[in-house]
Amino acid sequence: MPVVLSLQSVNKTFAGQPVLSNLNLDVHEKEFLAVLGSSGSGKTTLLRLISGFDSPDSGEIHINNRVVFGKGINVLAEERRVGFVPQDAALFPHLSVSKNIEFGLTKLSATERSARVTELLRLVDLVGFEERMPHELSGGQRHRVALARALAPKPDLILLDEPFSSLDAELRVRLREDVRKVIAKAGITAIMVTHDQEEALSMASRVAILRDGEFAQIGNPSEIYQSPTDIEMATFLGDSVIINGVIENEKIVTDLGLLTPLNKVVNGATGRVAIRPENFYLQPNPNGDGEVIGRQYFGHDALVEVKLPTLVIQARANGPFAPELGMKVTVWVRGQVNFYTD
Ligand SMILES: Nc1ncnc2c1ncn2[C@@H]1O[C@H](COP(=O)(O)OP(=O)(O)OP(=O)(O)O)[C@@H](O)[C@H]1O
């Protein structure tokens, strides 16, 4: 797939403080990339540099093989062919749905504009809402209009800045799938920044983790979740129980018994193991060496805290089979685990 966006050694500082350091990234056509980072990690800054609202200190940005920043060039934001969906949808409050959508279509004739608006209303499933004003829409509908407005001029790339942060949890989940489908149907390359892990993992085809101004790991969602590059990443993205281990005969010797490494290991190496809560299996056993000391029940599953002779673990158990408080259990680790050499 052709590269739509290329960041090459991009740097940005504010008041002498590095915010983005030596960023390199290629985003391919039709890819949906989520940039995941905690608050203040530089996500919004990154989008501002790509869209042209701000400039890097150094480095180059290419969009569809055109230099938009670097080599003495700095293409204006409105000429970069980048669509932007802001945090709170930010529709023009005094304009109807159709007027909001056609806002950037000044170069088209009235007939072409109207045809494009109809096409977009169909895409975001809002046919019949053309004359509504933004205050007459639900939060989810407003977001779909914002998406249609950003797609209207057929940009090369669309940027979404924490698109659902102002919405309640239930709506967020529903809208994630709607937005992902619209973007896939439109066949557009998209970059979304978010601090929400579930959002990144469930929507994107690739996830880039922004940590201390650098991309700490880039991969597809399952790679990112199942094979974090380091211990810090294993606890940043999702939960992990961290225990010490030593490699003997290609196995990891730990307080939880012999575990099988997912990655390549060297006999004699000491290090730590990261185990996801869902990788534990709790077997009720009156003679087990674990005791359930905490239990949060969510229906479909439960988070169970188990005290073992040398450590306490958090395990995710199937709701109907989650052991009760005070029960004795044997703890098993299912599957392979990541070993991080010291
Ligand atoms: N115009 C500016 N002048 C000075 N510092 C800035 C400016 N814009 C951003 N920063 C700083 O750069 C860092 C990154 O900010 P940015 O808004 O990109 O983070 P973010 O990851 O989007 O955060 P959040 O998730 O909280 O929105 C922060 O420390 C912020 O204070």
pTM score, two decimals? 0.89
Q: Give the separation between CA 145 and CA 129, rounded to whole angstroms.
A: 10
Which residue ranges of the chain lie beneath pLDDT 70?
none
Question: What residues does each domain of the chain span?
Answer: 3-233, 240-341
Q: Give the separation between CA 184 and CA 2, rounded to whole angstroms.
A: 17
CB 146 within 8 A of CB 179: no
CATH class of 3-233: alpha beta
> φ, ψ for residue 205 (rounded to 5)?
-85, -25
Residue 44: predicted pLDDT? 92
> φ, ψ for residue 78 (rounded to 5)?
-70, -10
Mutation choice for ligand 1 from 19, 21, 54, 164, CB with most ligand atoms inside 8 A: 19
- From the list 268, 278, 276, the residue with the least C-alpha distance to 245 is 268
Q: Is 45 in the pocket of ligand 1 (CB under 6 A)?
A: yes
Residue 104: predicted pLDDT? 82
Q: What CATH number matches the domain at 240-341, 2.40.50.140, 3.30.2130.10, 3.40.50.720, 3.40.50.10420?
A: 2.40.50.140
Mutation choice for ligand 1 from 21, 36, 41, CB with most ligand atoms inside 8 A: 41
- From the list 216, 227, 239, 256, the residue with the least C-alpha distance to 339 is 227
CB 295 within 8 A of CB 322: yes
Sequence-distant (≥ 6) Cβ neighbours of residue 99 within 8 angstroms: 92
